[in-house]
Amino acid sequence: MVEWRTCLSAAPAQQVYSGLWRDKDVTIKCGIEETLDSKVRSDAAPRRELVLFDKPTRGTSIKEFREMTLSFLKANLGDLPSLPALVGQVLLMADFNKDNRVSLAEAKSVWALLQRNEFLLLLSLQEKEHASRLLGYCGDLYLTEGVPHGAWHAAALPPLLRPLLPPALQGALQQWLGPAWPWRAKIAIGLLEFVEELFHGSYGTFYMCETTLANVGYTATYDFKMADLQQVAPEATVRRFLQGRRCEHSADCTYGRDCRAPCDRLMRQCKGDLIQPNLAKVCALLRGYLLPGAPADLREELGTQLRTCTTLSGLASQVEAHHSLVLSHLKTLLWKKISNTKYS
């Protein structure tokens, strides 16, 4: 039995609730529209509305449903050699009553779940330490671990008031109301590890397409947890949206809020490679999160490394060694400051 508690979303189309299930705090999600596509520019081509429970349309064999699922995952994650293993997990999930068969109703339910961007991401990243664990599901409703603490306390303010806060006040709120600096350093290390997890994982590369502190969460022990995976997108999905898209400026080549590609002005088409990799965007975020209140003996070097990191550009796979080196230096610098203390 699931106990429904507080509504956590102000948007009618985003049904998110806190709850209790088996004596655990959980987050309940259902009927959530694809937020990334809805944030694409208004002049974008209309998105095909997803109709849940529309497939399969008839009884199907396990083999047919496996092929159908594999085709769907290839389209969304890319043609990866690891996909058959993921398909196997989906088939196990589809067998809700554990009778070693997938009925039409079961197939329709799991198909509806797969249409949800966040659910597909949870499934793809379920072995990653910094993504919330998937606890249960039925139809297009699913349960994850309880909502982590928010890193940006101003996020609790009404949405209309947030843009009115000057940057200086936002920084002050973070320093006064947020965790102590060593705890912030620990959270930041987890965020950097998450960036590593998104790059060349078992099921491909993923992009963070809304890089804000509102999506940075942490547990009671200050371990980083991504608060909202709906803003993360598979590389294949982003490339499919951007490649060949008509444009006049780079701003026309934007997926989500900040996954931006160059515009070839001669051809008037978007290119498929992003201008900024995940790491550069995260480092820009961390400058405002880590530098206020940082220890005096660390502030200058930390600021230099974060500035260097924010200048990274180009497709991450083309400069993989450089990105890995920058990320490693940042993690090492932070760990040296908090290791062998109560904060580690």
Which tens digits make up the pLDDT trace of 278-308?
Answer: 999 999 999 988 998 899 999 999 999 999 9
Kindly report which listed range (9-13, 225-229, 238-242, 253-257) carries the lowest average pLDDT score. Answer: 9-13
pLDDT at 147 over 80: no
Q: What pTM does this model have?
A: 0.83
Q: What is the mean pLDDT of residues 98-110?
A: 86
- What sign for the dihedral angle of Cα 105, 111, 117, 119? positive
What's the confidence (pLDDT) of residue 139? 75
Distance in angstroms (rounded) separating the CA atoms of residues 139 and 119: 12
pLDDT at 155 over 50: no
pLDDT at 169 over 50: yes
Q: What is the mean pLDDT of residues 89-113?
A: 87
Helices (H) and strands (E) in the chain, counts: 11, 14
Residues of the chain with CATH 3.30.200: 2-31+56-145
pLDDT at 94 over 90: no
CATH of the domain spanning 2-31+56-145: 3.30.200
Architecture of the domain delimited by 162-340:
Orthogonal Bundle (1.10)
What's the confidence (pLDDT) of residue 77? 92
The two three-digit tokens of residue 113, written as one number: 């779940």
* 161 Cβ neighbours under 8 A, 6+ residues apart: none
Q: What is the mean pLDDT of the chain?
A: 82
What's the confidence (pLDDT) of residue 3? 87
Kindly report which listed range (43-52, 115-124, 131-140, 260-269) carries the lowest average pLDDT score. Answer: 43-52
262: preceding bond cis by omega (within 30 degrees): no
Read off the pLDDT band of 13 (50, 70, 90). low
Cβ atoms of 289 and 281 closer than 8 Å:
no
CB atoms within 10 A of CB 74: 14
What's the confidence (pLDDT) of residue 171? 55
> Percent of the chain at pLDDT above 70?
80
What's the confidence (pLDDT) of residue 154? 45
Read off the pLDDT band of 163 (50, 70, 90). low
Residues of the chain with CATH 1.10.510: 162-340
How far out from the chain centre does Cα 164 lie? Answer: 26
pLDDT at 270 over 90: yes
What's the confidence (pLDDT) of residue 18? 85
Which tens digits make up the pLDDT trace of 27-71?
Answer: 888 865 554 444 444 343 334 344 556 678 776 778 888 999 999
What's the confidence (pLDDT) of residue 174? 58
